[in-house]
């Protein structure tokens, strides 16, 4: 299971954050990355807490023939196409595509780090992941997504996007 985190809190050429996230999934498909399933969308407060606009976040399960490094390169190219400018850490962004997990691969030597080193700390990853793959286990700790959610630090605001 290859998991990609999707998020946006700024308008892009595709539209608002929700439209941007949907368009990013279509862009992945156009590049040959098959979206097998995706979670419902969530609105989430910025982490760490700031005065930025709330994000739209979700998680997708994809199928790709690219190795993790090439897939991450593709994600970065798509972010740039949607106007993402990398600079300040945790800044607002038009699009954020994170390679969260690549099967059970554990790689902590160099980029891309697998699994994503902070995914287990983020409600905006874990709650959508629970909807998408409730039986998923963290490849390093072996903990279920439910156990990881239980261990989240309090104060991470998240709510389902109303259809």
What is the largest distance, in Å, between two alpha-carbon atoms of the chain?
Answer: 41
Query: Is position 122 annotated as part of the catalytic site?
Result: no
Burial class of 131 by CB neighbour count within 10 A (0 to 12, 13 to 18, 19+): middle
Find the catalytic residue in 27, 38, 98, 122.
Answer: 98
Find the catalytic residue in 38, 73, 86, 96.
Answer: 96
In a 3-state reduction of DSSP, which class is residue 53?
coil
Query: Is position 93 annotated as part of the catalytic site?
Result: yes
Q: Rounded CA gap, 160 and 41, in Å?
A: 6
Find the catalytic residue in 27, 38, 93, 122.
Answer: 93
Query: Is position 38 annotated as part of the catalytic site?
Result: no
Q: Is the separation of the CB atoms in 17 and 11 below 8 Å?
A: yes
Query: Is position 96 annotated as part of the catalytic site?
Result: yes
Provide the annotated active-site residues: 84, 93, 96, 98
């Amino acid at each position: 299971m290859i998991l990609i985190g999707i998020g946006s809190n700024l308008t892009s050429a595709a539209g608002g954050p929700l439209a941007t996230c949907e368009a990013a999934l279509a862009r992945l498909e156009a590049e040959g990355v098959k979206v097998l399933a995706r979670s419902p969308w969530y609105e989430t407060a910025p982490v760490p807490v700031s005065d930025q606009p709330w994000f739209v976040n979700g998680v997708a399960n994809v199928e790709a023939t690219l190795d993790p490094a090439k897939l991450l390169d593709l994600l970065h190219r798509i972010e740039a196409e949607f106007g993402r400018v990398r600079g300040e850490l945790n800044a607002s962004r038009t699009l954020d595509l994170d390679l969260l997990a690549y099967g059970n691969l554990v790689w902590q030597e160099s980029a891309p780090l697998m699994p994503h080193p902070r995914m287990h700390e983020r409600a905006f990853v874990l709650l959508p992941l629970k909807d998408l793959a409730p039986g998923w286990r963290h490849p390093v700790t072996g903990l279920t997504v439910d156990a990881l959610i239980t261990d989240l630090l309090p104060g991470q605001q998240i709510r389902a996007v109303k259809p």
